[in-house]
Structure formats: structure tokens, C-alpha cells
Structure 1
Amino acid sequence: MTASPGLGTPATAAPGLLRSVFRQHAAGVAVITASGPGPVGFTATSLNSVAAEPPLISFGVGTSSSSWPVLAEAQHVGVHILGEGQQELAATFARSGADRFGPSTDWCRGPEGVPLLGGVVAWLVCRVAARIPAGDHRIVIAEVVAGDPSEGGRPLVYHQGRFTALRD
């Protein structure tokens, strides 16, 4: 098989190739939270709507993530859709070793004891239905049990390795 005209030379499949290609894919930004001995959370760009009936979502989480031990046991998770002005919140939850639930983070306990972040575009509380091994990650499938879309606003987007806003 030869490359099509106008296309570069195909690269061999590797983690670097996947990262390079997905830098071209704009994704919405969410923060996933759960409660264990203390609250945990991480920034995710892998959030997906899976089904309307029953209402299911999915996201990926690395098994080396500091949040994974709690997520591996959690019965419920919080899903927060971030708005365009929440780059710092996204960065806090993406940064290893950050005090994610410190004084600068507006949060409270919500339904099922899940940590809920304030000021987000929308949030859901979901019951974990499955954790599926996928390489060095787990795909978590969860059923929506509560939520609030009322904050509204424009979403935060991740593209080309940085958080950004949609352009008009």
C-alpha cells in the first residue's frame, strides 16, 4: 500500500503517534471527581455520551493516576463540564501533586457524597456501572442519577496541547 497523494509518509503506530494525532482533535474539558478517604479528581478530555436509555457516559482514567485507587472502588462519580473561563481549574486538576480541593477550589458534597465543583457549565452524578481494562487505562461506564445543566455557558476546549475557547 502506498501513501495517497498529498499525504505524508505514514508513521508507525506508537504512543507518540497517538498523542500527535489527537493534538489535532478538539475535545471538551471535564473534571471527574469521586469520594474516598478524601476527595479526588482529575481533568478529562475523554468524556463521552454513550446511551440515552439508560443514560450512560464513559471516560478513561490512567491506572497510574493518583485518583485511580479511589475510582477503582467508588460507587459514584461526579462529572463537571468546564466553561471557557476555567482554564486554571482544569490545570489544577490536571497537575500532578496539586492541592485540587484546597481553599482556591469552590466545591461541596453533592448527591451520594460526590464532590461537586461550583461555577461549572453543568454537572452530573453517576453510578459506576463498569470498569473496562484498556491498556494502561480503564474505561469507566457510569449511569446518570442526578445533574444540573442550569449554569450554562460556553465550554472550555482542549486543542493543540492547551486549554482554549471556541471562536465565534
Structure 2
Amino acid sequence: MVVDTPIRPARINPFTAERFRHVMGHVPTGVTVVTAMTRQGPVGLTVGSFVSASLDPPLVGFLPARTSSTWPLMVPVGTFCVNVLGEEHEQLCRGFARSGGRKFDGVDWRPAAETGSPVIDGALAWFDCVFERCHPAGDHLFVLGRVRNLDVRAQGRPLVFCHGRYQQLAAPDAAHDPSTGG
């Protein structure tokens, strides 16, 4: 049974938005840049809410703020690419997090073969998608996309945000590397 009904809160939240933000700040998140190719050129925004939603069909999701000035430019395109950033991409991330401006200045990228969405050079991985659905989610929107193509393009550690700042993951312990069976 599929249910697409809004859940009504039983009572008013017993905590403030600031408290919620503080506690959520303890949850580490990967950092991505979601890009699209518009008639005016490439656009993109930093997103820390990227998730895998389904394997069959392959679906991913992200949550842009309703106040985003970039999101409305992406909607009519119908396609997007999620670029997973590496720990060396902090400045690139900050550039795409700002409102307005020429975010792609100095950024090397190539168009995804199927959709033309920008794939950022040096991204650890990318997911080229077509829009599937968009649902209201409070002060954000939940965007669901069907993955049309994907790849791992670079080796490295992901850019992670936690405790209000960018963090670095420790180097993997070779003795416990699952790719080697250790």
C-alpha cells in the first residue's frame, strides 16, 4: 500500500528550531553540488542532504531550501547531476553555497552525455538524473530523481560537514579495508 498523505503533528514541538539545528549538527553529512544546464548556462547549488532512495528503480533525493534562488532555475530543465565533493573541494563548495553570482567561473566541468548537466571535474562520483517527483517538506522541498547514468571519477575522501564545520575523515585502516577482504 502506498500512502502519500501528510502526517499531522500530534502536538506542537517541545523544542526550538535552534535546538533542532544544534542536535542535527551532530549528524555528519556528505557534501554535494547539484548542477543543471539552463538556456542561460550552467547553474548549481551546494546540498548536504543527498540520499539514495531506491535501487529498483535507481532513485536519489536531495532537499533544496524553498528560499533558494538557484532551485527555480533548475526546475524547467527537468534534469540534474549530483556531484559528490572530495575533501579538497571546500572552496568550491562555498562558492556554490552562496546566492547569485557566477558560480561556475574557474570551475572545470564537462556535460553529462545523456542530459548535458554539468559533471564537475575531480568530483569523487556523480549521478546524472531526470526529475521524478518533488514534495513539500517544511521549509525545504524533497526532490526525487531517477538516475540515468553514474560513475566514480576520482579517488579520495569525501567532504563531510559536522558540528558546524567541514571535517576530514581519517585515512582508512588497511587492515580493515573491506575492498581487500581485511
TM-score, normalised with respect to structure 2:
0.80
Q: Could you tell me which of 115, 120, 125 is aligned with 2:118?
A: 115
> 1:150–1:68: structure 2 CA closer, same or farther, 3 Å change rule?
closer
Structure 1 vs Structure 2: percent identity of aligned residues?
A: 36
Q: Could you tell me which of 157, 163, 169 is aligned with 1:166?
A: 169
Matched, 1:17 2:23: no
Structure 1 residue 95 displacement after superposition: 1.8
The Cα offsets for residues 103-145 of structure 1, whole Å up to 9 and x where unpaired, read as x211222231211211110111011100111112110000110
Q: Please name the residue that 2:29 is paired with.
A: 27
Q: Please name the residue that 1:140 is paired with.
A: 143
Cα separation, 1, equivalents of 2:32 and 2:91 = 13
Cα separation, 2, equivalents of 1:71 and 1:15 = 28
The Cα offsets for residues 14-70 of structure 1, whole Å up to 9 and x where unpaired, read as 321221111111111111011223221111110000111111100000121111112
Structure 1 residue 79 displacement after superposition: 0.4
Displacement over 3 Å in runs of 4+:
none
Q: Could you tell me which of 89, 110, 119 is aligned with 2:92?
A: 89
Q: Secondary structure at the match of 2:95?
A: helix
Contact map agreement 2:70 2:99 (CA 8 A) in 1: no
Q: Which runs of 5+ in 2 are unaligned?
A: 1-12, 172-182
Q: Quote the RMSD (CA, aligned, Å).
A: 1.5
Q: Secondary structure at the match of 2:87?
A: coil
Q: Could you tell me which of 66, 69, 73 is aligned with 2:72?
A: 69
Q: Could you tell me which of 136, 150, 155 is aligned with 2:153?
A: 150
Contact map agreement 1:39 1:101 (CA 8 A) in 2: yes
Matches within 5 A, 1:54-65: 54-65=57-68
Q: Secondary structure at the match of 2:67?
A: coil
Q: Which runs of 5+ in 1 are unaligned?
A: 1-10
Q: Please name the residue that 1:46 is paired with.
A: 49
Q: Please name the residue that 1:6 is paired with.
A: none
TM-score, normalised with respect to structure 1:
0.87
Q: Secondary structure at the match of 1:167?
A: coil
Structure 1 residue 13 displacement after superposition: 2.8
Contact map agreement 1:44 1:59 (CA 8 A) in 2: yes
